[in-house]
Amino acid sequence: MTIDIRPYQSPDLNDLLSSWERASRLAHGFMPESFFDQERHNIPSLYLPNADTWVAVVEHRVVGFIALIGNEVGGLFVDPQYHGTGCGKALMDKAQVLHGELEVRVFHDNVLGRRFYRHYGFVVVGEEIFEPTSHRILRMVFEPEAETQQGITGE
């Protein structure tokens, strides 16, 4: 399987939203339906216009994306059908080449996301509360040498 990473283009929107929806529902099953409704609106109207977004393309179809705001990963979503294929790593590798020092905020209850970031080399450096839902968010930074040395809060 060949994974191409390229900049987001407006014709990618439907595939991007489909990938986001499937991945987000899997990773964020603890969130209320109103969260998904709001994010479905925010992605095209707020996030994409303000982020440097890259897509993973497999067989001419967008199957995932990473949205960067400076060195912060604002979102990383890969269609669950493509989990474990290297798409997420390829997107993160692109972000790392672009920015080097990366950070991300991930919901504590997002076990899939935490596992992915930890495996990639992120470590937890702080915690905050997502005010709209009172869910805990972990702030993580990329420290590649920590990949095999650390656990994560709550495990």
Residue 97 near residue 41, CB atoms below 8 Å: no
Task: Report pLDDT for 132.
Answer: 78
Determine how β-strand 135-142 pairs with β-strand 52-58.
Answer: unpaired
pLDDT in tens, the chain (155 residues): 899 999 999 999 999 999 999 999 999 999 989 989 999 999 999 999 999 999 999 999 999 999 999 999 999 999 999 999 999 999 999 999 998 889 999 999 999 999 999 999 999 999 999 887 788 999 999 987 654 444 444 44
- On whether the pTM is more than 0.85, the answer is yes
Closest by CA position to 28, among listed 80, 69, 103, 86: 80
Task: Report pLDDT for 121.
Answer: 93
Task: Report pLDDT for 1.
Answer: 87
Q: Indicate the class that CATH gives domain 4-146.
A: alpha beta
Q: Which amino acid is at 110?
A: N
Q: What are the residue ranges spanned by the domains of the chain? A: 4-146
